[in-house]
Amino acid sequence: NAGVMQNPRHLVRRRGQEARLRCSPMKGHSHVYWYRQLPEEGLKFMVYLQKENIIDESGMPKERFSAEFPKEGPSILRIQQVVRGDSAAYFCASSPTAGGSGGLPQHFGDGTRLSIL
């Protein structure tokens, strides 16, 4: 019973390049959340998606960042023209519903550590 799968585990990019982070939710989960963890800080919400829909992107930077969760395939967090400040660990979490059954906990992947040279 595979958990939330994120890849790559580590990603190194030079300033100005694009970074693509992938997340496959747990089997049976249709709700995906992305969080960012800067060094020595807690996780901060970025975006919440359901299949083919962005439900809440209130935590996403206005520029360069985008996310999708297509009907088929993993969720993708895309960062264009990366800068040094984008260096962080990016976590994906999934849940079977949006908490309609009562605040079900989210299950986290192991994260992608993004380093910008």
Partner 1 sequence: AQTVTQSQPEMSVQEAETVTLSCTYDTSESNYYLFWYKQPPSRQMILVIRQEAYKQQNATENRFSVNFQKAAKSFSLKISDSQLGDTAMYFCAFMNTTSGTYKYIFGTGTRLKVLA
Binding site for partner 1 (CB under 8 A): 31, 33, 35, 41-45, 48, 55-56, 59, 89, 91, 93, 95, 98-99, 102-103, 105-108, 110-111, 113
Nearest distance, CB of residue 43 and partner 1, angstroms: 5
| 18 or 41: CB nearest partner 1 | 41
Q: What is the dihedral of CA 113, 31, 49, 84, to 10 degrees?
A: -10
Residue 39 carries which side chain, given as an amino acid letter? P
Nearest distance, CB of residue 81 and partner 1, angstroms: 26
Nearest to 115 by CA among 89, 91, 92: 89
| 86 or 94: CB nearest partner 1 | 94
Nearest to 7 by CA among 68, 91, 79: 91
